[in-house]
Amino acid sequence: MTTVALLAAAWTLIPHSTEHTVVTMRDYPIQPVPFTAVKIDDAFWKPRIETNRTVTIPYAFQQCEEHGRVKSFEYAAQQLQGQDPTGKPMPVYPFDDTDIYKTIEGASYSLNVHPDKKLEDYVDLLIAKIGAAQEPDGYLYTARTINPKKPHEWSGAERWVNEEEQSHELYNLGHLYEAAVAHHQATGKKTLLDIAVKTADLLVKTFGPGKRKIWPGHEIIETGLAKMYRETGKREYLELAQFMIECRGGKGEYWQAHKPVLEQDEAVGHAVRAAYLYAGVADVAALTGQPQYIETIDKIWHNAVEKKLYITGGIGATGGGEAFGANFDLPNQSAYAETCAAIANDYWNQRQFLLHGDAKYVDVFERTLYNGMLSGVGLEGKSFFYANPLATSGHYKRSPWFACSCCPTNVVRFIASVPGYVYGVRESDLFVNLYVGSTAEVKMPKGRTLRVKQETQYPWDGKVTLTVDPSTKKKYAVRLRIPGWAREEASPGGLYSFADKSGKTYSAKLNGKAIKGTLKDGYLVVDRVWSKGDKVELDLPMPVRKVVARDEVQANRDRIAFQRGPIVYCAEGIDNPNREVRDLVVAKGAEFKTVSEPDTLKGIVALTGKADRVLRNEDGSIDRTPVTLKLIPYCTWDNRGMSPMAVWLPTTPEGAHVLPKVRPVYSTAKVSVSGRPTRPDAVNDLKSVKRSRDEGDFMHWWPTKGTTETVTYTFEKPQTFKSSGVFWFDDTGVGECRVPASWKLLYKAPDGSWQPVKTASSYGVGLDTMNNVSFEPVTATAFRIEVSLQKNWSAGIQQWVLE
Ligand SMILES: [Zn+2]
């Protein structure tokens, strides 16, 4: 549909009731069927939503209590009541308040479908605490209110002055708005919404044309204000969202403020911020009907999906700035692909669908949902990934919580809302977007309803039976999404493609008779007068598919990935020989078959096939040993202890990580690293590294800068070494790690003291090389390097070798 035609459709007015008035407002041409109207009853999502409700939500609230997030509101309230809060701890981050807001949002969705008096009372208590921390004019931001004379170091001297850089005042409010609207809709209570309205009215009074200018350093207030507009009918909230979008420009890409939004055409900068912005731009486009906004985000979408999207649906390739990388720069081991970015990507793609009604947006949504989003939480519901790499050497696992805990609380709110993405409605068209065992009661025009029941084993099987039951016999167009993977399109725009044709095609029957028809925007349209009990049987065959990436994606050259239905697979060490996967080579033509494992990882379909294990002999020659390779769904990895993992498997030994047949002693050391390092064990994982910026599991100390840090190898028995080498990590251009100022090698003397080795060599800090030092042989149980970081820089290590 052209933009002009689209906007004509957008004029369909959505009746909207507020407390006192009924207003009509322009909105998305397609409206989602709310999660409250869809009841999921299947073997995949139902247990996950239940785990979110019974484990993750209470756990997140408990963590918020234990890590001072609740106390922040209490301290701010004490300050407002004139009690001196001097000496009270400040939030760790100025956006800590958002974890409470996001968990309340998730709890609200959950309360709506599953009443729980204890949870509801607890949420009421939290809302009272939030209200007590709000300043009389509506300002709400504990990082300043706790100690107005000395606010959080990131917050600036006055309100709002540091927003674009660090303070996150508007980010906090954006999450407050999302939570307040969810809470109002779910519980009917206005307690949190009243608090939110007071803050939004303060913003409207302070900012706008002819008043102060502002744009948020971390977006989300745009979608929050759009929701507040829908909920209250106050148009000034929408106008403020638009104003904030239009104020951007003249700053860096990190904030998507390098140029005015309407001039942007590439997905850049911090990926979570970016996708929240694009979602906000979509909302403003839908609610105001301005076509230039749609043209802008469509352009950015093509760039993101065709050049910067992981096969898992993850976005934001690099940890430096948590940002999008360059086009086609999609490293696997160092993939950042933050869980929040996957969620933001889904928010954005859902809105793209609501604007355009094209299945390709749902294809991206589904890919992200079943892979890069779901991997963010452990099956038990209490462990979380921040980054979601596509390969590891076995030193990466989910954490119970984070100092910056954006991802766990985002998972809480997103999983609770999954039923809301199954259907969409445009006049008398019903879009069936996700296949999930469920029943739905869909509101159609003129007060009619359409009951739809889905019976399916999706995502493990592609057979879906839809039973339709209209309130009155009526003509509706039921649009069945035929996923890209079922029509030979691995991803829209061809970043990924299938290595070979499946030879199988989808089919559909209506009351037993084959449905013929061409696809419209990726949907099979069944347009007819529906009667009670009409049955559609859809068959989406799910053969095992091999996926290849465009040749420009250097990280995936001579590699294949496996996909079946919407599920992307990975090899995990625990299932494979020697708990290793990096040394496996898969022939392009290898046959893989499915194995249903109802008792593994809460029920999966695994894949098995043949591969070769490659090992390097001491003379450099390579041995190949045939083995059986097992693959599991990527979203379920790291639920059985740490081991290496890979999504993209090499098709040639050159692409494999060929391990030595005899492993060097230093790789058996227990590693301990000072400070707060990431992936400490990566320093002796035997990876072959070519560049300091090479992708791989590396250890770094970022954001710590200018300190002296140590890495220690401890052995069970005394070991003798006479040379050592360090390959430094350096991410110049994208991050803040540089080679260090200096370093030295020490060993643990019998008296327990650390003594320098005796050497005539100098300690090198060269880039892209192993910096070797030879020394008088020493026998000891522990060795240490002491690293002095450059004054304004952090540092990291790819590999530290002892021989
Ligand atoms: Zn996050």
Q: CB-based contacts of 685: which residues, under 8 Å, 6+ apart? A: 393, 394, 395, 667, 697, 799
Query: Using CA atoms, how far apart are residues 457 and 665, in angstroms rounded to an integer?
Result: 49
Q: Which residues pair with 713 in a beta bridge?
A: 671, 783
Residue 5's pLDDT band (cuts 50, 70, 90): very low
Interval 310-337 mean pLDDT: 92
| Residue of 26 and 394 predicted with greater confidence | 26
- Give the phi and the psi of residue 722 in degrees, each rounded to 5: -135, 0
pLDDT cut 90: percent of the chain above it: 84
Cα of 690 from ligand 1 centre, angstroms: 30
* pLDDT value for 6: 39
Q: Which residues pair with 628 in a beta bridge?
A: 610
Query: Using CA atoms, how far apart are residues 432 and 567, in angstroms rounded to an integer?
Result: 19
Q: What is the largest CA-CA distance in the chain?
A: 91
- Give the phi and the psi of residue 363 in degrees, each rounded to 5: -60, -45
Q: What is the DSSP letter of 741?
A: S
Query: Using CA atoms, how far apart are residues 237 and 227, in angstroms rounded to an integer?
Result: 9
Per-residue pLDDT at 16 exceeds 60 = no
Interval 640-664 mean pLDDT: 89
Cα of 316 from ligand 1 centre, angstroms: 11
Interval 417-436 mean pLDDT: 97
Q: Which residues pair with 627 in a beta bridge?
A: 611
Long-range CB pairs of 258-261 (<8 Å, 24+ gap) are 261/293, 261/296
Query: Using CA atoms, how far apart are residues 258 and 542, in angstroms rounded to an integer?
Result: 44
DSSP reduced 3-state for 375: helix
Beta strands 699-700 and 670-673, pairing class: unpaired
Per-residue pLDDT at 23 exceeds 60 = no
DSSP reduced 3-state for 49: helix
Query: Using CA atoms, how far apart are residues 656 and 691, in angstroms rounded to an integer?
Result: 17
Cα of 338 from ligand 1 centre, angstroms: 6
Query: CA angle 560-562-565, nearest 5°?
Result: 145
Q: Which residue, chain included where needed, has tokens 């739809």?
A: 452
Cα of 315 from ligand 1 centre, angstroms: 12
Query: Using CA atoms, how far apart are residues 131 and 348, in angstroms rounded to an integer?
Result: 31
Cα of 134 from ligand 1 centre, angstroms: 26
Query: Using CA atoms, how far apart are residues 146 and 138, in angstroms rounded to an integer?
Result: 15
Query: CA angle 577-582-587, nearest 5°?
Result: 85
Q: Which of 620, 717, 710 shows the shortest CA–CA distance to 671? A: 710
Cα of 431 from ligand 1 centre, angstroms: 30
Cα of 341 from ligand 1 centre, angstroms: 7
Strand spans (E) along 634-701: 645-646, 649-650, 659-660, 670-673, 699-700
Q: What is the pLDDT of residues 548-574, one digit of tens each?
A: 999 999 999 999 999 999 999 999 999
Cα of 178 from ligand 1 centre, angstroms: 16
Tell me, letter by letter, the H, E, C secondary structure of 454-468: EEECCCCCCEEEEEE
Q: What is the pLDDT of residues 706-718, one digit of tens each?
A: 999 999 999 999 9
Query: Using CA atoms, how far apart are residues 659 and 131, in angstroms rounded to an integer?
Result: 59
Residue 277's pLDDT band (cuts 50, 70, 90): very high
Cα of 101 from ligand 1 centre, angstroms: 14
What Å distances lie between residue 133 and 7, 119, 271, CA to CA? 43, 21, 31
* pLDDT value for 21: 45
663 burial type by CB count under 10 A (0-12 exposed, 13-18 middle, 19+ buried): exposed
The neighbour count for residue 357, using CB atoms within 10 Å, is: 24
Query: Using CA atoms, how far apart are residues 176 and 101, in angstroms rounded to an integer?
Result: 5
Query: Using CA atoms, how far apart are residues 360 and 32, in angstroms rounded to an integer?
Result: 16
Question: Is residue 605 a contact partner of residue 597, using CB atoms and an 8 Å limit?
Answer: yes
Q: Which residues pair with 520 in a beta bridge?
A: 523
Describe the crossing of helices 235-246 and 191-206 by its angle, rounded to 10 degrees.
Answer: 50
Interval 417-441 mean pLDDT: 97
Interval 42-50 mean pLDDT: 97
Return the structure tokens found at 218: 């971390």
The neighbour count for residue 7, using CB atoms within 10 Å, is: 19
Find the range with the poorest average confidence among 5-19, 459-473, 666-680.
5-19
* pLDDT value for 188: 95
Cα of 379 from ligand 1 centre, angstroms: 18
Residue 489's pLDDT band (cuts 50, 70, 90): very high
Q: What is the pLDDT of residues 79-91, one digit of tens each?
A: 999 887 667 788 8
Cα of 127 from ligand 1 centre, angstroms: 23
Query: Using CA atoms, how far apart are residues 652 and 42, in angstroms rounded to an integer?
Result: 40
Query: Using CA atoms, how far apart are residues 440 and 518, in angstroms rounded to an integer?
Result: 26
Cα of 386 from ligand 1 centre, angstroms: 6
* pLDDT value for 7: 39
Cα of 320 from ligand 1 centre, angstroms: 14
Q: Which residue, chain included where needed, has tokens 């800090």?
A: 765
What Å distances lie between residue 52 and 119, 373, 751, CA to CA? 13, 14, 52
Query: CA angle 769-771-776, nearest 5°?
Result: 155
Cα of 251 from ligand 1 centre, angstroms: 23
- Round the CA-based radius of gyration of the chain to a whole number and report it: 27
* pLDDT value for 3: 39
Cα of 406 from ligand 1 centre, angstroms: 4
Question: Is residue 88 a contact partner of residue 153, using CB atoms and an 8 Å limit?
Answer: no
Per-residue pLDDT at 658 exceeds 90 = no
Residue 578's pLDDT band (cuts 50, 70, 90): confident
Q: Which residues are designated catalytic?
A: 322, 406
Q: What is the pLDDT of residues 597-613, one digit of tens each?
A: 999 999 999 999 999 99
Measured in residues, the chain has a length of 803
Residue 696's pLDDT band (cuts 50, 70, 90): low
**CA atoms within a 13 Å half-sphere pointing along the CA-CB vector of 62:** 9
* pLDDT value for 85: 65
Interval 222-250 mean pLDDT: 97
DSSP string for 567-603: EEEEEEGGGSGGG--TTEE--TT--EEEEEETTSTTS
263 burial type by CB count under 10 A (0-12 exposed, 13-18 middle, 19+ buried): exposed
DSSP reduced 3-state for 759: coil
Cα of 782 from ligand 1 centre, angstroms: 37
Query: Using CA atoms, how far apart are residues 685 and 696, in angstroms rounded to an integer?
Result: 10
Question: Is residue 800 a contact partner of residue 699, using CB atoms and an 8 Å limit?
Answer: no
Question: Is residue 111 a contact partner of residue 120, using CB atoms and an 8 Å limit?
Answer: yes
Question: Is residue 242 a contact partner of residue 191, using CB atoms and an 8 Å limit?
Answer: no
How does the average pLDDT of the chain come out, rounded? 93
Can you say whether residue 333 is alpha, beta or left, with left for phi > 0 and alpha for psi between -120 and 50 degrees? alpha
DSSP string for 612-680: EEEEE-TTS-EEEEEEEEEEEEGGG-SSSS---EESSEESSGGGS--EESS--GGGGSEEEESSS-B-G
Cα of 376 from ligand 1 centre, angstroms: 9
Q: What is the pLDDT of residues 242-270, one digit of tens each?
A: 999 999 999 999 999 999 999 999 999 99
Q: Which residues pair with 629 in a beta bridge?
A: 609
Query: Using CA atoms, how far apart are residues 579 and 596, in angstroms rounded to an integer?
Result: 22
| Residue of 92 and 547 predicted with greater confidence | 547
* pLDDT value for 84: 72
Q: CB-based contacts of 93: which residues, under 8 Å, 6+ apart? A: 154, 168, 403, 404
Question: Is residue 710 a contact partner of residue 785, using CB atoms and an 8 Å limit?
Answer: yes
* pLDDT value for 8: 36
Cα of 155 from ligand 1 centre, angstroms: 21
Return the structure tokens found at 744: 């030295």
Query: Using CA atoms, how far apart are residues 409 and 387, in angstroms rounded to an integer?
Result: 15
Query: Using CA atoms, how far apart are residues 204 and 207, in angstroms rounded to an integer?
Result: 5
Query: Using CA atoms, how far apart are residues 176 and 199, in angstroms rounded to an integer?
Result: 9
Cα of 402 from ligand 1 centre, angstroms: 9
Q: What is the pLDDT of residues 764-798, one digit of tens each?
A: 999 999 999 999 999 999 999 999 999 999 999 99
- Give the phi and the psi of residue 792 in degrees, each rounded to 5: -110, 20
What Å distances lie between residue 414 and 48, 226, 458, 773, CA to CA? 12, 18, 20, 51
Query: Using CA atoms, how far apart are residues 272 and 211, in angstroms rounded to an integer?
Result: 29
| Residue of 799 and 6 predicted with greater confidence | 799
Per-residue pLDDT at 10 exceeds 70 = no
Cα of 64 from ligand 1 centre, angstroms: 15
Q: What is the pLDDT of residues 750-766, one digit of tens each?
A: 999 999 999 999 999 99
Cα of 340 from ligand 1 centre, angstroms: 4
